[in-house]
Chain A
């Protein structure tokens, strides 16, 4: 069965600090990987996704993620966070054919302070 681990429950950063949120998955075959963001009181929004090809994926709002197959990881990064990045971040995975539902990690709450 697929599973997703997000190591950090709550991350607190000052504005302009760099961000890296960890995500590891467990799955026996090829995978599709996603990062979603949920701003307070709002619904899930897709930040970026990886299906195949270049393992370094660039998403919206300056976020990027790198798929490292040997480490089963898909960490999310941003060079300089802003106060408006305060939100809950979820890593998710489904099987390579895309015919299985997304499985989510527990989420990481990011608080950016001025």
Chain B
């Protein structure tokens, strides 16, 4: 089946620093990737949608200058949390949609970010 990986699986950083999270589709080409955020015991909230080679489309209320998304290739998307603050601590999950199966999204294992 289609596999999506994320790196790192967890990261702790100091307030004010930036953190980059990678999302890779391992065995398929992902024309579209999605970034979600999940707070403890809550649902997944869509942050942004990115298509390979294009600028990401951010959901209302998500700061594009704070959460930088790059989708440079059909197998890699990155989310950079800039100038992180404790309120950015969360579980970030990426998802990818393949060219072959446009209906289905495949999810990565998530990255837990803790900002101290």
Query: Is B13 part of the contact surface with A, judged by Cβ < 8 Å?
Result: no
Q: B66 to nearest A CB, angstroms? A: 20
How many chain A residues touch B (Cβ–Cβ < 8 Å)?
21
| Stretch touching chain A among B71-79, B81-89, B99-107 | B99-107
Asked if B107 and A44 sit within 8 Å, CB to CB, the answer is yes
Asked whether B43 lies within 8 Å of A43 as measured between CB atoms, the reply is no
Asked if B108 and A98 make an inter-chain contact with CB atoms under 8 angstroms apart, the answer reads: no
Contact between B46 and A101, CB atoms less than 8 A apart: yes
> Is B93 a contact of A49 with CB atoms below 8 Å?
no
Known contacts A90-B44, A101-B49; decide if A43 and B107 are in contact (CB<8 Å).
Answer: yes
Q: Is B8's beta carbon under 8 Å from chain A?
A: no
Q: Contact residues of A with B, CB < 8 Å?
A: 32, 36, 42-44, 46, 49, 51, 90, 94, 97-99, 101-107, 109
